[in-house]
């Protein structure tokens, strides 16, 4: 489909609570966002029809645009001679709880991790990883599989020509569990087999007539090769056939769309991959919601997605409290607060998840929780975004069992070019500078990194659009979706040395102006969103700013709402131990951005 044949695009995202619609139109040679609308999702009673929410959201677009897009109770495609309707209608969905999967592998740290990456990359929530060596007894695994009721299972293990026995044992375990899918009474559970091709015949014999088996290419055909594409494509196909079609109204919605409906997280990953590929950069993106936090990364062309299903800002806020600890949350609050009072405030948020901060104190507490949720989700992401376990230049049989800790993480903060934040607490912060500071504190970027947020969370719609019209998706993403916050320069110590406050970590030169960066300092300078500057960063001999220890780094940087940020607070960022000094430091950092304190 050529770009000039499509002048009007409507895209919707059917979320678990809200259905969001956007209208994109061709203006001259560029696609731009025109208006957006939203309505409650209607996949549950009393409507039991997802298309009702879609029509309501698109009707809001009709009112704002002053044009007709609905006819006979459906989205009108293609556009008619009177200019009514749309040339292209696309949709994503996570309504009904999204795609829930269980993965099974022979070795948890090898085939299990590869299966995890395949499922997560396809937009699934991985409920559990079952493996021969996961430490659980056989009956415990059977009970767990039986209780989970996933939408489908991804089964993997063994290189081609390798183990067969363990895969047959996994198949027998599945037969014993006799699992049933979450949706669709009387349907057989879909199982995707992506293991040793030599074991396919005996595994098929065991599972025959009991499940809906779908063989695909091996995830790990050899120890040094990971082939996730075929499994991800099959997951997507089965999601459409076995999950989407069981949800009320999706069969009708599928007849409206110009392309297949895509799982919301999968669509977000698509646009992140497209941007990283087009600009040849490393990207880290996060979507922090009320119940879960999704993290996406592209490093060196390698895409990884993880979902922290227990970290969120409303329904799961007490999980953040439990996992991070009350002290770790309190350390980011720029005023003294009783720990029991803090716990109670967070518990109130959990039992009243739709409330929003009413006072500045409430807002700062919520943003403190956000920092910890982002930090924990990134740690989880780093643990899965790793090189292939078991790969090395020389190996013996014994080495296989000594490498269970996995390969090195692919997420190198010094190589990171851009961080994108999304989700209510980041996208709808009262001041954009607050979003910048939250991501800086949580992720602690190193070297030179650009910061941005998704203005209205339209990345899912742009992701599904990128599969049809990538040029349109990237134009709207760059012009209307991203809010550029600015660029942060953060030197890191390459060799231990005690720096005094009067020392200089680095000197940043912009033409005739030179700015010294002192240890512990945080400086913010105005620089417009479309304004580029060439900086020469000259570090101390023990400091690295991206070009190596002590080496000058010349780089073009883009401004933003916050501007140019020089972060000399050190990596890892360490807060003062005493409460008074900690509060004073936090207030100083807020003041650097011109942000209020209570």
Residues 315 and 353 sit within 8 Å (Cβ to Cβ): yes
Distance CA 162, CA 170 (A): 15
323/196 same-domain check = no
Residues 219 and 226 sit within 8 Å (Cβ to Cβ): yes
Distance CA 121, CA 385 (A): 11
Does residue 38 lie within any of the structural domains?
yes
Q: What is the pLDDT of residue 414?
A: 94
Residue in 451, 553, 564 with CA at minimum distance from that of residue 505: 553
Averaged pLDDT, 313-327 = 93
457/373 same-domain check = yes
Beta bridge mates, 419:
284, 451
Query: Per the structure block, which two tokens stand in for 482?
Result: 């991203």
Final residue before a domain boundary, out of 95, 130, 158 = 95
Does residue 263 lie within any of the structural domains?
no
Query: Per the structure block, which two tokens stand in for 463?
Result: 């992701």
220/186 same-domain check = yes
387/514 same-domain check = yes
Averaged pLDDT, 445-468 = 93
The backbone torsions φ and ψ at residue 46, rounded to the nearest 5 degrees and listed phi first, read -90, -5
113/81 same-domain check = no
117/215 same-domain check = yes
pTM across the whole model: 0.84
Distance CA 305, CA 123 (A): 8
Q: What is the pLDDT of residue 395?
A: 34
What are the tens digits of pLDDT across the range 321-364?
999 999 999 999 999 999 999 999 999 999 988 888 999 999 99
Does residue 274 lie within any of the structural domains?
no
Positive or negative: CA dihedral 112, 117, 120, 124: negative
Q: How far is CA 42 from CA 39, 355, 551, in A?
A: 9, 22, 58
91/104 same-domain check = no
Does residue 266 lie within any of the structural domains?
no
Does residue 598 lie within any of the structural domains?
no
Does residue 258 lie within any of the structural domains?
no
Does residue 254 lie within any of the structural domains?
no
Q: What is the pLDDT of residue 468?
A: 93
Q: Give the count of domains, the chain.
A: 3
Distance CA 569, CA 585 (A): 10
87/106 same-domain check = no
Q: How far is CA 318 from CA 128, 286, 325, 351, 366, in A?
A: 21, 20, 10, 10, 12
- The answer to whether residue 84 scores a pLDDT higher than 70 is yes
Q: Whole-angstrom distance between the N-terminal and C-terminal Cα of the chain?
A: 55
339/378 same-domain check = yes
Final residue before a domain boundary, out of 76, 95, 114 = 95
Which CATH number characterizes residue 121's domain? 3.40.50.2300
412/385 same-domain check = yes
91/144 same-domain check = no
Query: Per the structure block, which two tokens stand in for 203?
Result: 């595994």
Helix (H) or strand (E) holding 253: helix 250-256
Distance CA 356, CA 262 (A): 30
Does residue 226 lie within any of the structural domains?
yes
**What is the span of the domain harbouring residue 21?**
3-95
Distance CA 583, CA 336 (A): 8
- The answer to whether residue 400 scores a pLDDT higher than 50 is no
Positive or negative: CA dihedral 361, 364, 368, 374: positive
The residues, ordered by sequence, that sit 6+ positions from 150 with a Cβ below 8 Å of its Cβ are: 100, 101, 102, 127, 179, 181, 182, 189
433/299 same-domain check = yes
């Amino acid at each position: 489909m050529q770009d000039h044949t499509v002048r009007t695009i409507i895209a919707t995202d059917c979320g678990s609570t809200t259905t969001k619609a956007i209208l994109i139109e061709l203006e001259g040679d560029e696609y731009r966002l025109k208006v957006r609308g939203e309505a409650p999702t209607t996949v549950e009673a009393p409507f039991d029809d997802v298309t009702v929410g879609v029509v309501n959201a698109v009707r809001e677009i009709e009112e704002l645009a002053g044009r007709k897009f609905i006819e006979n109770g459906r989205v009108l495609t293609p556009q008619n001679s009177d200019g009514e309707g749309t040339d292209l209608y696309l949709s994503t969905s996570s309504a009904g709880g999204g795609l829930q999967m269980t993965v099974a592998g022979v070795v948890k740290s090898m085939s299990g991790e590869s299966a995890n990456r395949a499922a997560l990359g396809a937009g699934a929530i991985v409920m559990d990883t079952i493996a021969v060596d996961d430490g659980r007894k056989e009956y415990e695994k059977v009970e767990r599989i039986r209780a989970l009721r996933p939408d489908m299972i991804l089964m993997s293990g063994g290189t081609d020509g390798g183990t067969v026995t363990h895969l047959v044992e996994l198949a027998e375990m599945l037969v014993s569990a006799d699992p049933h899918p979450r949706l669709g009474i009387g349907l057989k559970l879909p199982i995707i087999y992506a293991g040793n091709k030599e074991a396919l015949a005996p595994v098929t014999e065991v599972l025959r007539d009991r499940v809906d088996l779908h063989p695909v290419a091996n995830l790990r055909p050899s120890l040094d090769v990971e082939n996730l594409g075929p499994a991800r494509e099959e997951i997507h196909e089965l999601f459409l056939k076995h999950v989407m079609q069981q949800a009320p109204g999706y069969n009708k919605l599928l007849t409206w769309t110009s392309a297949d409906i895509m799982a919301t997280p999968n669509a977000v990953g698509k646009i992140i991959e497209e941007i990283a590929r087009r600009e040849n950069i490393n990207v880290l993106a996060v979507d922090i919601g009320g119940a879960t936090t999704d993290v996406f990364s592209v490093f060196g062309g390698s895409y990884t997605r993880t979902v922290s299903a227990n970290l969120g800002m409303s329904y799961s806020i007490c999980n953040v409290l439990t996992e991070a600890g009350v002290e770790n949350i309190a350390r980011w609050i720029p005023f003294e607060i009783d720990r029991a009072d803090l716990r109670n405030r967070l518990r109130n948020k959990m039992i009243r998840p739709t409330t929003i901060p009413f006072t500045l104190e409430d807002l700062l507490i919520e943003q403190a929780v956000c920092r910890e949720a982002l930090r924990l989700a990134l740690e989880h992401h780093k643990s899965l975004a790793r090189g292939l376990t078991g790969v090395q230049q020389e190996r013996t049989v014994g080495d296989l069992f000594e490498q269970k800790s996995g390969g090195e993480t692919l997420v190198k903060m010094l190589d990171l070019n851009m961080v994108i934040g999304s989700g209510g607490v980041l996208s709808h912060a009262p001041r954009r500078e607050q979003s910048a500071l939250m991501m800086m504190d949580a992720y602690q970027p190193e070297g030179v990194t650009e910061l941005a947020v998704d203005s209205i969370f339209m990345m899912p719609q742009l992701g599904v659009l990128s599969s049809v019209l990538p040029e349109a998706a990237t134009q709207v993403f760059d012009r209307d979706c991203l809010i550029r916050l600015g660029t942060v320069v953060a030197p890191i110590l390459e060799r231990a040395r005690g720096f005094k406050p009067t020392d200089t970590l680095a000197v940043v030169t912009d033409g005739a102006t030179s700015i010294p960066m002192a240890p512990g300092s945080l400086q913010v300078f105005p620089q417009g969103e479309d304004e580029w500057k060439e900086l020469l960063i000259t570090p101390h001999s023990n400091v690295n700013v991206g070009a190596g220890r002590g080496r000058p780094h010349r780089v073009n940087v883009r401004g933003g709402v916050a501007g140019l940020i020089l972060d000399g607070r050190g990596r890892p960022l360490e807060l003062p131990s005493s409460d008074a000094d900690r509060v004073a430091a936090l207030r100083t950092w807020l003041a650097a951005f011109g942000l209020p304190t209570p």
